Amino acid sequence: MSRSGNHAIINWILAQAEGRACFLNCAEPGTNPFLSARPLAPDRPGHLASFDDFDLAAERAGRLSRKDLLVHSYEDTFLGPFKKAANEALLGAAVGRSARRIDLLILRDPWNLFASRLASGYGWLDDELVARVWCQHAREFLGLRRNLRQERLMLSYNDWATDADYRRRVAEALGLRFDDRAAHVVPPVAGGSSFDGTAYDGRAESMPVLRRWHAFRGDPRFERLLTPTVLELADRAFAPLPAAAPLAAAA
């Protein structure tokens, strides 16, 4: 989801990649991600490539180049489309065969995720839909549902942001040669942090990412997002989260 820390994590993954790496930003499910990737910024394309001979037009036309790592991301979407055989067939034709395919689901606790979304002004999903999407992702994260049919890795942004050992384990699970320097970078995508922009670039670990919700304590829109179902799933996925417990108890 938008403001889940996904760009920080993707930037960290790409920084550890060896060889030819490519990233396609915020694609649409059920489409060719080379065609549907959204711009990283108004003046930046929707892709990054670590090799000079990357040719977007050729990739879009199906003339695919060899890559050691291809990352394509999706934001604010239900997971149902990824379960369909038609989506898998289309995706295979669009990006080619891979020696290894991993579906990486990033989940951030709802208190701080919703606060960051409200602070940034992300408004293309109504509040009810935001909560429903988060709940579906949380059920997948907890193993209560299975929409992602490939090899899966469930990643907690909260743990990733606060625990270097956790980041090492994630890197190992992804087959990366661990180098944690990029964990301290604040990517400039969409202005960086909803609260701090890129002011903490180079020292991202100093950002109070688990206390963002404090700025929205008592805000009616924020509290409407924290439905009983959201709170129940959040307690299972992120307990204990002491900083948010008072709000959860009051909701």
Tokens of 147: 């929409």
pLDDT score of 123: 57
Q: Where are the domains of the chain?
A: 6-250
Per-residue pLDDT of the chain (251 residues; tens, 9 = 90+): 998 999 999 999 999 999 999 999 999 999 999 999 999 888 889 999 999 999 999 999 999 999 999 999 999 999 999 998 888 889 999 999 999 999 999 999 999 999 989 987 765 578 889 999 999 999 999 999 999 989 999 999 999 998 999 999 999 999 999 998 887 776 554 444 443 454 445 544 546 567 888 888 889 999 999 999 999 999 999 976 645 544 443 33
pLDDT score of 233: 96
pLDDT score of 237: 95
Q: What is the largest CA-CA distance in the chain?
A: 56
Instruction: Provide CB contacts within 8 A for 222, sequence distance 6+.
Output: 114, 115, 118, 213, 216
Task: Work out the end-to-end distance of the chain between its first and last CA atoms, rounded to an integer number of angstroms.
Answer: 23
pLDDT score of 195: 38
